[in-house]
Structure 1
Amino acid sequence: MADLPGQRLMERLRQTKGPGKNAKAGPPVHDDRVHRNFTADGPNRLWLTDITEYPTGEGKLYMCAVKDAFSGCIVGYSIDARMQSRLAMAAPVPILT
């Protein structure tokens, strides 16, 4: 029986493991100060943050958003072409100034 186009290549790709396939999660980078309880009793009592990567035609963009756990509103954000500490540090600036 003849091989289908790309069958050998696909078999080889299945045999090789990609990066991180067997990686185990390391210890958390920071303490879990809210103990996975993402609710708040009032506004501005608990802010949640996340960094998201967006692929674009010109490369990647990173957005760091700060969300108020009580209202669910985004209260600050920053966007940068590089994921560096300044991305997270700039997100709450509009709120605090």
Structure 2
Amino acid sequence: MSGLYRFIHAEKANYPVTLLCRVLHVTRSSCYAWRDGEAARRARQAADDALAHEITVLHIVSRRTCGVPRVHTELRRLGDG
């Protein structure tokens, strides 16, 4: 379904959103909701990527000896977990 919304977003410069939604049988409200949620999805992905990087760094610094419990404890100590 998000492919339809991406298409509408890409074509909105050429055609009215109302027409695109009618032709593709989607509601305008769902199209706008998808658009508004895109920023939240990007922010969540950036936060996930930053956390994954920090976990990797902690694991490498421990010479790959720390497992999940110690990494979790260290993240909580640093205020990220």
Could you tell me the TM-score, scaled by structure 2's length? 0.28
Would you tell me which structure has more strand in proportion to its own residues?
A: 1
